[in-house]
Amino acid sequence: MPRKAKKGSPRYYFHIGTENAIIRHNQETRPVMRERIYNEHIRNAFEKLAENIIHTFKFYYFDVPSEDVKHEVVSFLYMNMHKYDHTKVNAKGQRSKAFSYFSIVAKNYLILHNNNNYKRMKQHDGAEVTDRKRDPISEIRSRDARNMKIEYVDVLADYWRNNLTTVFKRKKDLDVANAVVELMDMKENIDNFNKKALYILIREMTGSNTQHITRVVNVMKKHHFKLQENYLSTGSVVTTQTGSWFDRPAI
């Protein structure tokens, strides 16, 4: 993975300058200038973004080398660049950030093709072998448990959207907490991603170091445990409740 700039440095590979260049590219009507903006200010960021996502989340079920997969992802990002709307706001009232938007676009592309390739590889076992290995009762239980987890994450994300500014006061803490909530909203794409990979993604989204991310996540965990207890015992949670379960934030 590429070396990361020191904390506080504006030289992260995908920064506000990259976002502004994407906006200029989308607004530019002259093909020559669009190509120049892309080659000078966007291409490198797209390549590093694709490379990081491929290796961080281990998208390795491809018949071609990772370098070729990276170029496919970059081409897909380029073809979809015009769809990025910097004026759009999310459910939290925040403006859409280019890094988050194109990270999701790249991951969705890789998930689709990675999973399709994985399924083709599993088909080599043959349908009969697969059927003999099936356990319908376990499948139903697993499906119900998975659905409950998905529903709970929705509840948890909704709770934090209503209470982030009650629990966290500093901007850098809010940035990390917002990134965590954003990942919750992307849960269908990250169910199988490990803790290390998620930390890396949060670092890329916020510029925070691992220690700071851990401090914020630990505060969120305390609320999670209380919410989960209520959810498991009652089947629901009042997401508009403030962070008053605790005398004071842990940060």
* Beta carbons of 21 and 42 less than 8 angstroms apart: yes
Nearest to 177 by CA among 209, 211, 202: 202
- Do 148 and 170 fall into the same domain? yes
* Beta carbons of 199 and 216 less than 8 angstroms apart: no
- Do 110 and 196 fall into the same domain? no
Could you tell me which residue, 203 or 133, shows the higher pLDDT?
203
pLDDT at 36 > cutoff 50 = yes
- Do 74 and 143 fall into the same domain? no
pLDDT of the residue at 11 = 39
What is the rounded distance in angstroms from the CA atom of residue 142 to the CA atom of residue 136? 10
Could you tell me which residue, 201 or 237, shows the higher pLDDT?
201
Flag the least confident range among 97-111, 136-150, 232-246: 136-150
- Do 100 and 139 fall into the same domain? no
- Do 30 and 55 fall into the same domain? yes
Q: Among the three residues 89, 118, 134, which one is the final residue of a domain in this structure? A: 134
Residue 6 lies in a domain: no
* Beta carbons of 41 and 21 less than 8 angstroms apart: yes
Residue 1 lies in a domain: no
- Do 209 and 146 fall into the same domain? yes
- Do 206 and 223 fall into the same domain? yes
- Do 50 and 82 fall into the same domain? yes
Q: Which domain holds residue 69?
A: 12-134
Side chain identity at residue 226, one-letter code: K
Residue 5 lies in a domain: no
Kindly report the pTM of this predicted structure: 0.49
- Total domains, the chain: 2
- Do 247 and 139 fall into the same domain? yes
* Beta carbons of 212 and 174 less than 8 angstroms apart: no
Residue 2 lies in a domain: no
Side chain identity at residue 133, one-letter code: K
pLDDT at 132 > cutoff 70 = no
- Do 210 and 237 fall into the same domain? yes
pLDDT digit string, tens, across residues 107-130:
888 888 877 666 666 665 554 444
User: Binning pLDDT at 50, 70 and 90, where does residue 39 land?
Assistant: very high
What is the rounded distance in angstroms from the CA atom of residue 248 to the CA atom of residue 168? 10
Residue 125 lies in a domain: yes
Tell me the average pLDDT across 217-227.
86
